[in-house]
Chain A
Amino acid sequence: MRVNSSSDRASECVPSRATGMEGGIVIKDDWPGYSLELFTYPEHYREDIESVYIPHGVIMDRFSTSCGKECWCVPHFYQPGRLGGLQEVIETERLARHIMDDIGDHDMVVLCVLKGGYKFCSDLVEFIKVQCRNSNKHLETRVEFIRLKSYLNDQSTEDLHIIGSQDLSVLRGKNVLIVEAIVDTGKTMKALLKHVEAFEPKMVKVAGLLVKRVSNVVGSLPDYVGFEIPNRFVVGYALDYNEYFRDLNHICVISEIGKVKYKI
């Protein structure tokens, strides 16, 4: 494990898009990521990734919760520099609890944005279930899926393309939690919110695992953020580059070789 040094701290006093805890863990612009040789990854991606940006275990700890109950395990907390690049926020239970406090009073529909959102959605729904189990609360949670296409190679495109069924009348009168893997300019999210609101849900919240620090921000910040990251093209944990890399556990930065190899 890397030893702390001040240059390893990725996230001190950096202007962030967020205000307050809900902004998520902030990763600094010059965070290089971890060397590949420190982790396991599929052999077929050996040349195609540059570094491990956010290890899978860290993503899990960002969600994992103490639930405030004695029977559950203590959250994995990060001391400054313990993992080199992460801010010492971590009351990770806050992510879980915030969601449940805000929308856990009423029947909830989780709207998973495929395909990139599927891992985040699956893991998030799992810990929401754990929350409910530990608080002996019954919360009717449905999961619905919507498929959007908005990236070509590594560039975000203009249009919001909804693939498959557009009928979201199941959302009417419910608390909706949109679960998206990554928010970039916010254009896609803004268009999706408009589409969802037409079906008259009771409340809509957005959970984004990753939010990019970009200059041309269109929409507002998601309500719940896992990590705020620099404007780099990341892959893994269901995030793809032309359908590749979804089978990579960690969030990584793609290499130039990878970009060319899997280009359309």
Chain B
Amino acid sequence: MAYIQIPDDEKGYKLDLFCVPKHYEEDLDQVIIPHGLIMDRTERLARDIVRDMGGHHIVALCVLKGGYTFFADLLDYIKALNQNSDKSVPLTVDFIRLKSYCNDQSTNIVKVIGGDELSTLTGKNVLIVEDIVETGRTMETLLSLLSECNPKMVKVVSLLVKRTPRSSGYRPDYIGFEVPDSFLVGYALDYNEYFRDLSHICILNENAKEKYKV
């Protein structure tokens, strides 16, 4: 599946070419993905998803908390497709939180908190919606958990995938952008609850990492 690749040496755009909250001007190096581009890419992801999964009831599973901004926007595009064509696919939603930790045997464990009974996924087309995939291990563990309830199909859409040596090699089915292993904030990505009010995805500079540290 195609995606937009943001190279490691991406210069991005200077802050003064876009609207960025004044209080963040000292904290950001550059805008690497403008909000409009995120929206346009998301619109296309919605179309691809409906093309592949639209034959049968879709359960859109939002991974909180990071995933909810992208989730809301993606679903808006899917709904727009649904209400503007002759045929449409029923769509229900659910929200889960993942708690990921390693046990004493260093096995990756993922605990799913919240959400309906996983049995509601049986026979359905499940779409997991995530904001960013880094190592991929959490997602792999979640997928094997879900496969136990026998959904008809499971696909993962992630707005961002990081290019990192720590990656397990896992790739989501739908990817918005592949990004460098830098410290990114804005849109769905916060840093200690800051930057939620930034609509573009930007690179955080070193000073800011200290400034907003917990």
Chain B residues with Cβ below 8 Å from A144 are 65
B69–A122 contact, CB under 8 A?
yes
Is B150 interfacial (CB 8 A cutoff)?
no
B79–A247 contact, CB under 8 A?
yes
Is A244 interfacial (CB 8 A cutoff)?
yes
Chain B residues with Cβ below 8 Å from A249 are 79-80, 83
Give chain B nearest CB distance to A120 CB in angstroms. Answer: 11
A246–B91 contact, CB under 8 A?
yes
Is B213 interfacial (CB 8 A cutoff)?
no
Residue of A nearest to B87 (CB): A43
A119 to B75, alpha carbons, bound, how many Å? 10
Across chains A and B, the number of contacting residue pairs, with CB separation under 8 Å, is 96
- Size bin of chain B's contact surface: 35 or more
A165–B197 contact, CB under 8 A?
no
Residue of A nearest to B96 (CB): A164
A238 to B62, alpha carbons, bound, how many Å? 14
B residues lining the A interface (CB < 8 Å): 19, 21-23, 62, 64-65, 68-69, 72, 75, 78-80, 82-95, 97, 113-115, 193-194, 196-197, 199
Chain A residues with Cβ below 8 Å from B75 are 247
Is A35 interfacial (CB 8 A cutoff)?
no
Once A122-B69, A165-B114 are accepted as A-B contacts, the answer to whether A142 and B95 lie under 8 Å apart by CB is no
Contact residues, A125-179 vs B (CB, 8 A): 125, 129, 132-133, 136-145, 147, 163-165
Once A42-B83, A142-B193, A247-B75 are accepted as A-B contacts, the answer to whether A136 and B22 lie under 8 Å apart by CB is yes
Is A183 interfacial (CB 8 A cutoff)?
no
Give chain A nearest CB distance to B56 CB in angstroms. Answer: 12
Q: Looking at chain B's contact residues, is the secondary structure mostly helix, strand, loop, or mixed?
A: mixed
B83–A118 contact, CB under 8 A?
no
Chain A residues with Cβ below 8 Å from B97 are 145, 164-165
A140 to B64, alpha carbons, bound, how many Å? 19
Once A114-B95, A141-B193, A142-B193 are accepted as A-B contacts, the answer to whether A133 and B88 lie under 8 Å apart by CB is no
Is A115 interfacial (CB 8 A cutoff)?
yes
A180 to B201, alpha carbons, bound, how many Å? 29
Give chain B nearest CB distance to A78 CB in angstroms. Answer: 24
Is A29 interfacial (CB 8 A cutoff)?
no
A78 to B88, alpha carbons, bound, how many Å? 33
